[in-house]
Amino acid sequence: MLATVRSTTLSLTMGTLSLCAVSVTGCPQQEPPKPAEPAAAPVAAPPPASPTIDPARLAVFGTPLPQHYDSKDNPPSDEKIALGRQLYYDKRLSKNQDLSCNSCHDLANYGVDGKKFSLGHKKQLGGRNSPSVYQAAGHIAQFWDGRAKDVEEQAGGPMTNPVEMALPDPKRAELVLQSIPGYVDAFKKAFPADKQPVTIKNATAAIGAFERRLVTPSRFDKFLAGEVGALNDVEKAGLLKFLDTGCVACHSGTLLGGSTYQKVGAVKPWPNPIDLGRAALTKNDADKFIFKVPSLRNVARTAPYFHDGSVEKLPDAVKLMASHQLGRDLADADAQSIATFLDSLTGDIPKEFIQEPQLPPNGKATPKPDPT
């Protein structure tokens, strides 16, 4: 009997549990989970403000590049410029007839050959890096030590330099030119008032007249002229860094250099103190390690850098200058920022103007190449 009651009670209990499992009413329930709140949309960060440059700070650069650098002492003419262009490319003005002005100052390569030191007669190496010929006519003087007053005087130097084009003397250059009938006619047209127009003086005048047209305007010139959008924000930031660092102490004016002489290693001694700079020319100890400040026009395309061609990368050159000239240690990011601005100085090469011209053929008396 007791067993029967217990069994019945258990059955009732199990029945109640079973009803709970299937009944919706009368049994406790969990509330369904609330839907998740939608995530708040991220607030977009405002775009960085475009660098603002006070126009008054740009006055240090002067005006945009001129179209050319004509000289009152060497007035141009179409005939003179055309003749100068031919002479610039003519290898017969070298002893072995294997070098021209363009060999070291390649006009298709921003006026340089890209070498630490250029190869001259019999593969001899020069002692200084060959600077660009573009805008050279606007410099205070020519060569790193300023030993030539203008591009006309500079043009005659390499012809008779024994390490460069190696002609024995200017008379040999005249002899070569007088032996080529096409040049005799071209000199007459370029210098019609001269009784004897084929001279080394007129040859260098013609080359100079041509070089005074070698100008490469860039986006930076548009910026100087008031076109604010000519430089992008990254380049403007680099320009501000260039100004704030103090680079304009030497690299000012339209050419960003080329107008003064400065001591290399003004604050910290230069790591390669072999070249005495102007002192080798003047024999004055006060001129030791003083060189003409190079223009920064096209600098991003004219490596290697400095008179000794010792640096290959532009940011490295920037850091070296900041350290040795200004006593400032630039972070890599700051040096790269300045280098980015400097690339905006890369100009447009006048491709049609500098296209290699057809040269007049030899005459019967034209000297042969001399490799000795």
231, 251, 267: which is closest to 305 by C-alpha?
Answer: 251
Q: How many CB atoms lie within 10 A of CB 343?
A: 18
- The single-letter code of the amino acid at 287 is D
| CA 106 centroid distance within chain | 14
**How far is Cα 336 from Cα 343, in angstroms, rounded to an integer?**
11
**How far is Cα 101 from Cα 88, in angstroms, rounded to an integer?**
5
**How far is Cα 118 from Cα 58, in angstroms, rounded to an integer?**
36
Find the helix or strand (DSSP H, E) in which 332 lies.
helix 332-343
| CA 290 centroid distance within chain | 22
- The answer to whether 164 is a known catalytic residue is yes
Q: What angle do CA 351, 352, 353 make, to 5 degrees?
A: 95
313, 269, 265, 267: which is closest to 291 by C-alpha?
Answer: 265
Residues 6+ apart with CB under 8 A from 156: 170, 200, 203, 204
Mapping DSSP to helix (H, G, I), strand (E, B) and coil, where does residue 148 land? strand
Give first-to-last CA distance, the chain, whole Å.
139
Q: How many CB atoms lie within 10 A of CB 250?
A: 19
254, 298, 301: which is closest to 59 by C-alpha?
Answer: 254
Catalytic residue among 164, 174, 211, 235: 164
Q: Please name the residue that has the structure tokens 């003086």.
A: 201
Residues 6+ apart with CB under 8 A from 268: 323, 324, 327
**How far is Cα 297 from Cα 218, in angstroms, rounded to an integer?**
9
Helical axes 200-211 vs 181-190, angle rounded to 10°? 70
Active-site residues, by number, are 164
